[in-house]
Amino acid sequence: MKITLSVNGEERSLDVDPRTTLLDALRDHLDMTGSKKGCDHGQCGACTMLVNGRRINSCLALAVMHEGDEVTTIEGLGEPGALSPLQKAFVRHDGYQCGYCTPGQIVSAKAMIAEFSNGWPSYVSDDLEAAPDFSEAEIKERMSGNLCRCSAYPGICAAIKDAAPEEGLNEREAAE
Amino acid sequence: MKPFDYVRAESREDALRADGRVIAGGTNLLDLMKLEVETPDRLIDVTRLDLREITRQENSLRIGALVSNADLAADETVRRDYPVLSRALLAGASAQLRNKATTGGNLMQRTRCPYFYDTTQPCNKREPGTGCQAMEGFNRILAILGTSDKCIATHPSDMAVAMRALDARVEIESPTGETRMLTLDEFYLLPGDTPEKETVLEPGELITAVHLPEPPKGKQAYRKVRDRASYAFALVSVGAVIDVQGGKIAAASLAFGGLGPRPWRNADVEEALVGETPSDAVFDKAADVLLADAKGFGANDFKIPLTRRVLKAVLSDLTGVSQ
Ligand SMILES: Cc1cc2nc3c(=O)[nH]c(=O)nc-3n(C[C@H](O)[C@H](O)[C@H](O)COP(=O)(O)OP(=O)(O)OC[C@H]3O[C@@H](n4cnc5c(N)ncnc54)[C@H](O)[C@@H]3O)c2cc1C
Ligand code: SF4
Ligand code: FES
Ligand code: FES
């Protein structure tokens, strides 16, 4: 089946078997290997991408179901020489060891900051209606969909906290 | 994954006409298709249908079947008037999954019984008549209420537990264009001799919405106990609405997750509470009623005392009476 996706702002056409996941479409058909495959079952978050601005597990998404959608991957956030604030902060705070979960962590954190800024509550928010603090407990709960087998969590958490203001924390966007 | 035909439905009529399996968020169906637990010949992608609205109607809040779990949890009306639902949704899965998972798909998600997932093992739900490996096997997460000698699986949804406590009704459209509305007790079937049949949804029918009645009086809570602090299914969960007036419990609505093949609700438990002055003894009596027929299968025996403790803790929080 022929489909067109907008990947990191560029129109890309590809011909895929309907069984192809969005993750495999990018990795195997477009040679964009930044997004990683950990579990392939929605359990680890290594494959996290933004689709129309929302973070999802691209391993549990069929590429054909995303015809016309806007996809953002780690390659779209920054590149060597022009790293994004989150990418720089992960380096600064040692937010990884092997690095396998890192693209997913960073893409996920990017969306998490936007969700937070739009006033979304989390399971650990005391009050569902008031804006919560950007606390460590909130960051951990909101990032629980990204596992790190190297357990670099302290660095990940510190990096996110550090980069959040530069990534637009509390700049409320219009809901998509 | 087995090959399948892919059909993108552009209208509700398209979807109801096409003969095949509905796919919405895909977070459960694709997972099961990868393992070949599910092997549909044709997928009908319904995600382009106009079922994404949350609308206030005269006596209800209508939640379109394609509203994502994330959008529903963050909806301002839901946060204010139905916090038990917001909390239950936020307790489920991860932020990534909630962005993709839909209201209809969440209701229809299948059990997390490990043998159901493993096609090398017997399982009456996956292959009727082959037996139930869980009964004497790994059943830590499985049911203690509503089981049969064919299947002891639990329904894994958090959202459905809150909806059951809120007296939600499911709106279903049939291929002939008729609409019916069912409570969750009417919607979900107990396993009996046919654990492969989980709901009364007929082939070709589409869930189009869930309706919540007027917000109930009283306080609401959702409490979930699991093996890790986040991103794990419930061992036991309670969705509760309790109204205390003049020192007595005026109304109680309690639904439980992790205990049975459907979000579990037992009117006798609520009856044991209504009209009473909240106290440790009253809470215990409610737990006795709830657990009267509870049956463990070894590894899940712990759920019986755990359920009592979680129920009592929730009642204590909502009534302000310490245990
Ligand atoms: C790692 C992981 C952890 C999870 N943790 C939790 C948790 O803690 N709590 C929890 O509650 N859930 C949890 N989930 C499950 C998740 O909530 C479900 O996968 C999701 O809600 C399913 O929705 P979907 O739209 O993706 O459904 P799909 O996968 O698209 O569909 C699921 C089923 O519903 C049917 N269906 C979908 N829409 C309709 C419709 N409109 N009408 C008729 N039939 C329909 C499909 O045919 C299919 O049979 C978890 C999932 C994963 C992968
Ligand atoms: S409990 Fe149900 S789903 Fe699990 S093995 Fe037994 S029959 Fe299958
Ligand atoms: S690879 Fe997608 S969640 Fe693990
Ligand atoms: S850095 Fe190795 S998995 Fe996270």
Q: Kindly list the domain boundaries of chain A, sorted by start residue.
A: 2-77, 85-163
Q: How far apart are CA B208 and CA B220, in angstroms?
A: 26
Q: How far is CA B115 from the centre of its chain?
A: 20
Instruction: Please name which ligand lies nearest the alpha carbon of A148.
Output: 4
Question: Per-residue pLDDT for A175 more than 60?
Answer: no
Which pLDDT band holds residue A173 (cuts at 50, 70, 90)?
A: low
d(CA B128, CA B132): 9
Whether B36 contacts chain A with CB within 8 A: no
Q: Is B152 in the pocket of ligand 2 (CB under 6 A)?
A: yes
Question: Which candidate, A23, A47, A78, A19, places its Cα nearest to that of B6?
Answer: A19
Ligand 3 pocket: which of A22, A24, A39 to mutate (most atoms within 8 A of CB) = A39
SS3 B173: strand
Cα–Cα distance for residue pair A27/A21, rounded to 1 Å? 10
Q: Which ipTM score applies to this complex?
A: 0.97
pLDDT of residue A176: 41
pLDDT for the residue B158: 98
Please indicate whether, in this complex, the C-beta atoms of A61 and B26 are within 8 angstroms of each other: yes
Q: What is the pLDDT of residue B18?
A: 87
At A145, is the pLDDT very low, low, confident or very high (cuts 50, 70, 90)?
Answer: very high
The torsion defined by the Cα of B195, B197, B198 and B203, in degrees rounded to 10, comes to: 170
Structure tokens at B136: 């004497």
Judged by a CB distance cut-off of 8 A, whether residue B23 touches chain A is: yes
| Ligand (nearest to CA of A23) | 3
Which pairing describes strands A70-72 and B60-64: parallel, antiparallel, or unpaired? unpaired
Burial class (CB in 10 A: 0-12, 13-18, 19+), B57: exposed
Please state the CATH superfamily assignment of the domain spanning residues A2-77 in this structure. Beta-grasp domain (3.10.20.30)
Give tens-digit pLDDT for A23-39: 999 999 999 999 999 99
A2-77 and A85-163, same CATH topology = no
- CA nearest to A17 within chain B: B3
Are B239 and B222 in contact by the 8 Å Cβ rule? The answer is yes
Given a contact cutoff of 8 angstroms between Cβ atoms, the answer to whether A81 and A69 are in contact is: no
Distance from residue B45's CA to the centre of ligand 1 (Å):
14
DSSP B125: T
CA–CA dist A34, B179 (Å, integer): 46
Q: What is the pLDDT of residues B65-87, one digit of tens each?
A: 999 999 999 999 999 999 999 99
- Alpha carbon distance B297, A110 (integer Å): 44
Tokens of B124: 């009456």
List the single range of A64-73, B268-277, B314-323 with lowest mean pLDDT. Answer: B314-323
Topology (CATH) of A85-163: DNA polymerase; domain 1 (1.10.150)
- Specify the pTM: 0.98
- At residue B297, does pLDDT exceed 70? yes
Q: B215, B260, B202, B271: which is closest to B241 by C-alpha?
A: B215
Chain A residue closest in CA terms to B74: A120
**Strand A2-7 relative to strand A70-72, pairing:** parallel
Write out pLDDT tens, residues A82-136. 999 999 999 999 999 999 999 999 999 999 999 999 999 999 999 999 988 999 9
Average pLDDT value over all residues in chain B: 97
In single-letter form, the type of residue at position B229 comes to A
Contact flag A120-B23 (C-beta cutoff 8 Å)? no
Mutate to test the pocket of ligand 4, among A148, A153, A157 (most ligand atoms within 8 A of CB): A148
Cβ atoms B80, B212 nearer than 8 A: no
